[in-house]
């Protein structure tokens, strides 16, 4: 059966992910292995495996890193407690935190300094959330139901969000917060990052035309999971796959138009492999936004060029 693949754009790597991967790659070239990385540099099994093959060593906590070794903090950011521990152990830290996550951390410190009660909208246990919550006392909520159970002190209440949330669901939570706390204070600009928003808009557009949506990404990638959920909420069956090998033939039965995208941490070549695996097809690109943002590398990496 001939098929049409609607290719959502933007898709795959965002600027923060590209920066984080380049940091590890350059350190491996400049210093040789091992280069230690706390947690997954980005949430994608293929990226992690590729860097491991080059000499990166991924660890869960800093006590697994030898004294004075080089350690990279992942794109998701870390709490001040982790930074303090690295300093105590005299580790050579290279920070690959996405600048948009760093912005949220700075907002948390600013809100706390002016005495706000802070509400963070995010997913419990996510590394980005753990890092942000380490910056200041705050309350975590995920849904409007969580908001209904809040009983917050004071009349100066502000909110922050994880950068990789579903835009529409986050609006519902913010609306619930504002209904309960009318003087709610907002961040200076949206915390959900441009790349997350763009990929959600694009996948929703192709979902409205498709019989099936495939999103390339790993299961611990928040932005990839949100894209699948968004497509499903649009009424189109959608599935998350790490690569083409995970596509089940029964998903494709009767699907003449397949929407295809990839989360911000998924390598673009994996999308090409999925297209090849889908057999005879025409490929039509649906471009909803152009991304030109680039982030500067840390000075320690630039100096060693």
Q: Would you list which residues are annotated within the binding site for [4Fe-4S] cluster?
A: 14, 98, 193
Q: Is 58 helix (H, G, I), strand (E, B) or coil?
A: strand
Contacts of 178 by beta carbon, 8 Å cutoff, 6+ apart: 184
Q: Which helix (H) or strand (E) holds 101?
A: helix 99-113
**22 noted as active-site residue:** no
Give me the half-sphere count of Cα atoms (radius 13 Å) on the Cβ side of residue 40.
18
Say which of 127, 128, 135, 142 is annotated catalytic. Answer: 128
φ, ψ for residue 227 (rounded to 5)? Answer: -65, -40
Annotated binding site for isopentenyl diphosphate: 43, 76, 126, 221-223, 265
| Euclidean distance between CA atoms 108 and 33, whole angstroms | 35
Contacts of 277 by beta carbon, 8 Å cutoff, 6+ apart: 244, 247
Q: CA-CA distances (angstroms) from residue 127 to 42, 89, 183? A: 11, 22, 30
Report whether the peptide linkage leading into residue 52 is cis, meaning its omega lies within 30 degrees of zero. Answer: no
Contacts of 190 by beta carbon, 8 Å cutoff, 6+ apart: 197
Q: What is the DSSP letter of 185?
A: B
Annotated binding site: 14, 43, 76, 98, 126, 163, 193, 221-223, 265
Q: Is 99 helix (H, G, I), strand (E, B) or coil?
A: helix
| Euclidean distance between CA atoms 76 and 245, whole angstroms | 28
Active site residues: 128
């Amino acid at each position: 059966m001939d098929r049409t693949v609607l290719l959502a754009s933007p898709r795959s790597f965002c600027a923060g992910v590209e920066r984080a991967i380049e940091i590890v790659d350059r350190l491996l070239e400049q210093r040789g292995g091992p280069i230690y990385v706390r947690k997954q540099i980005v949430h994608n099994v293929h990226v992690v495996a590729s860097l491991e093959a080059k000499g990166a060593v991924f660890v869960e906590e800093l006590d697994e890193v030898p004294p004075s070794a080089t350690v990279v903090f992942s794109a998701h950011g870390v709490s001040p407690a982790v930074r303090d521990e690295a300093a105590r152990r005299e580790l050579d830290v290279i920070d690959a935190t996405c600048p948009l996550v760093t912005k949220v951390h700075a907002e948390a410190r600013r809100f706390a300094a002016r005495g706000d009660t802070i509400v963070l909208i995010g997913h419990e246990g996510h590394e980005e959330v753990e890092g942000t919550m380490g910056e200041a006392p705050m309350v975590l909520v995920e849904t409007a139901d969580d908001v209904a159970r809040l009983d917050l002190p004071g009349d100066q209440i502000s909110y922050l969000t994880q950068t990789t949330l579903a835009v529409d669901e986050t609006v519902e939570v913010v609306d619930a917060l504002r209904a309960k706390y009318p003087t709610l204070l907002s961040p200076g600009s949206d915390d959900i990052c441009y790349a997350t928003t763009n990929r959600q808009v694009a996948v929703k557009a192709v979902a409205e035309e498709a019989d099936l949506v495939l999103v390339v990404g790993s299961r611990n990638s928040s932005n990839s999971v949100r894209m699948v959920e968004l497509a499903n909420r649009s009424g189109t069956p959608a599935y998350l796959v790490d690569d083409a090998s995970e596509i089940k033939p029964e998903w494709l039965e009767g699907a003449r138009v397949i929407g295809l995208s990839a989360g911000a941490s998924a390598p673009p070549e994996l999308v090409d492999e999925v297209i090849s695996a889908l057999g005879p097809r025409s490929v039509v690109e649906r471009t909803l936004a152009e991304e030109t943002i680039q982030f500067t590398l840390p000075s320690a990496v630039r100096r060693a060029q």
